[in-house]
Amino acid sequence: MTYKTITPEDINMLKSIVSDDRVLYEGAISEDYSHDELSGEEHFPEVLVKANSTEEVSQIMTYAFENNIPVTPRGQGTGLVGGSVALFGGIMIDLNNMNQILELDEENLTLTVQPGVMLMEISKYVEERDLFYPPDPGEKSASIGGNINTNAGGMRAVKYGVTRDYVRSLEVVLPNGEVMEFGGKVVKNSSGYSVKDLIVGSEGTLGIVTKAVLRLLPLPKTAISLLIPFPDLFAAIETVPRIIKSKAIPTAIEFMERDVILASEEFLGMQFPDSSADAYLLLNFDGNSKEEIENIYENVARICLDAGAEDVLIADTQERKEAIWKARGAFLEAIKASTTDMDECDVVVPRNKIAEFVKFADTLKEEFDVRIMGFGHAGDGNLHLYVLKDAMDKTAFTEKLSAVFDRMYTKARELGGAVSGEHGIGYAKKPFLAESLGDSGMNLLAAIKLAFDPKRILNPGKVCA
């Protein structure tokens, strides 16, 4: 793909659309904008524009479309697969100034937000009003625009689903600059193709989300977490299908191993409430009273004890839950801090196959002589496995990584899984997506991309383009 290089005229044009101080170029662009949190690749955009409104985004896109300039939309840049990195230079549109909560509609239980609102701001705002936005990805400083574009999942997916399940409508600027709204404040909708659902998870390749109407629920009054120590990881994970079969619906079933907990303790400088066991399941139940939740979890607790759990530890107060979940929330950063570099595998497999996958991944450590640390959402089949560079040199690491990932993704495919559970494809996972979908699948994706973006200027080099 060849694109127009940015010229002083382009810069002036962009300045006339927004204002001088919101157009940055050359040395004025902070290094932060050249990468995301993990994917390793570094590319600066030629010009960075901080948009304040849908109109501005639309005018920038119109100009870019007419002039064949690549555009990369960007939120907080907390992605892990390079989705928000400007691989082809061009214009980067920073949407973080568009950070207003526009409307709370208590009659329709919806919240209308701009894309730059951070996840933690949304949960705080709605929970103060006894409402609830269920998606709960670990990175609370991520923008909602980014969450929508990756169809972020998080730690309540077992009971509540993922971001896509909570988007009612989207205002989108198409690559040609046209502004459209897909969906609405409606609960049902059978009106043609669901473009809204296609935009969710499209990683900024089909359009730029400039406004979203989110679906809310009443806030559950209380929650109790159970921390369940097991003698080993396999005993822990093999219990998960039994919990699911029991028809109890926890909001989360997470698994974790002692080495990750210890890394997290060191990273945060705080102690985890228990670190006597090799592996743990962490369950969370919500409901309207402590008694209601206790009735539900007792059965699950017995299942776990029958399955060989050493005990079932109860976190029923804010302090107790924080001591656990704060550590859980820091796992990624803690693992990152324990090595020189790493890359991750975010596969998702059917829930009854997760034990098999974890066992398989464990054998790779020895086979490839590499440190692999992981944790994950055992209840929804989504794993986060990190291959660590440690003392390897870059070439050796790249080779090993590719070999290990090849094996992991092949195994996931065999088990009926998918490449990414919640972090997306970006450019880092493109080869694995291509293998997983095959030529016909990729051609279909490419055709959809072209229908939206015939010039392929929007976030080029990502997902399928």
CB 370 within 8 A of CB 398: no
Q: Per rule CB under 8 A, is residue 314 in the interface with another protein?
A: yes
Span of 247-255, 313-321, 352-360, 386-394 interacting with another protein by CB under 8 A: 313-321
**Which residue of 227, 347, 361, 373 would you call a contact of another protein, by CB under 8 A?**
227
User: Which position among 34, 62, 222, 352 is part of the footprint of another protein (CB under 8 A)?
Assistant: 222
| Residue choice 226, 243, 244, 361 for contact with another protein (CB under 8 A) | 226
Does position 277 interact with another protein (CB under 8 A)? The reply is: no
Per rule CB under 8 A, is residue 404 in the interface with another protein?
no
The helix/strand count (H/E) of the chain reads as: 14, 18
Q: Which is nearer to another protein, 38 or 260 (CB)?
A: 260
189 contact partners, CB below 8 Å, separation of at least 6? 183
Least Å distance, CB 118 to another protein, is 12
Residue whose CB is less far from another protein, 312 or 404 = 312
Please tell me the distance from the alpha carbon of residue 62 to that of residue 455, in angstroms, as a whole number: 12
Region 291-310 residues binding another protein, contact defined as CB under 8 A: 298, 301, 305
Cα–Cα distance measured from residue 329 to residue 349, given in angstroms and rounded to the nearest whole number: 22
Q: Does 312 bind another protein (CB under 8 A)?
A: yes
Q: Which of 26, 107, 319, 393 binds another protein (CB under 8 A)?
A: 319
Task: Specify the residue, 320 or 407, whose C-beta has the smaller distance to another protein.
Answer: 320
Cβ closest to another protein, residue 177 vs residue 308: 308
Q: How many CA atoms lie within 13 A of 270 on its CB side?
A: 13
> At its nearest, how many Å lie between another protein and the CB of residue 314?
5
CB of 281 to another protein, least distance (A): 13
Rounded Cα distance between 263 and 250, Å, is: 26
Choices 105-113, 151-159, 202-210, 318-326; region in contact with another protein by CB under 8 A? 318-326
Residue 32 tokens read as 């932060």
Q: Please report how close the Cβ of residue 446 comes to another protein at its closest, in angstroms.
A: 39
Q: Report the residue number, 61 or 281, with the smaller CB distance to another protein.
A: 281
Nearer to another protein by C-beta: 312 or 355? 312
Q: Which of 315, 332, 342, 370 binds another protein (CB under 8 A)?
A: 315
Q: How far apart are CA 1 and CA 460, in angstroms?
A: 9
Q: Are 250 and 284 in contact (CB under 8 A)?
A: yes
Q: Which is nearer to another protein, 4 or 320 (CB)?
A: 320
Buried (b) or exposed (e) across 137-152, using 16+ Cβ within 10 A? Answer: bbbbebbbbbbbbbbb
Among 166, 272, 357, 405, binds another protein (CB under 8 A): 272
| Stretch binding another protein (CB under 8 A), from 80-88, 164-172, 208-216, 221-229 | 221-229
Q: For residue 220, what is the DSSP state?
A: P
- Residue 51 vs residues 10, 55, 182: alpha-carbon distances, Å: 16, 9, 21
271 lines the binding site for another protein (CB under 8 A) = yes
- Whole-number Cα distances in Å, 86 to 83, 148, 172, 176, 426: 9, 19, 20, 19, 11
| Helix/strand/coil for 135 | coil
Three-class SS state of 251: coil
Are the C-beta atoms of residues 264 and 256 closer than 8 Å to each other? no
Determine if 101 is a binding residue for another protein (CB under 8 A).
no
Q: Which is nearer to another protein, 290 or 394 (CB)?
A: 290
Residues sharing a CB contact under 8 Å with residue 367, sequence separation 6 or more, in sequence order = none
Counting residues that bind another protein (by CB under 8 A) gives 23
Residues engaged in binding another protein (CB under 8 A): 222, 226-227, 270-274, 290, 298, 301, 305, 311-320, 323
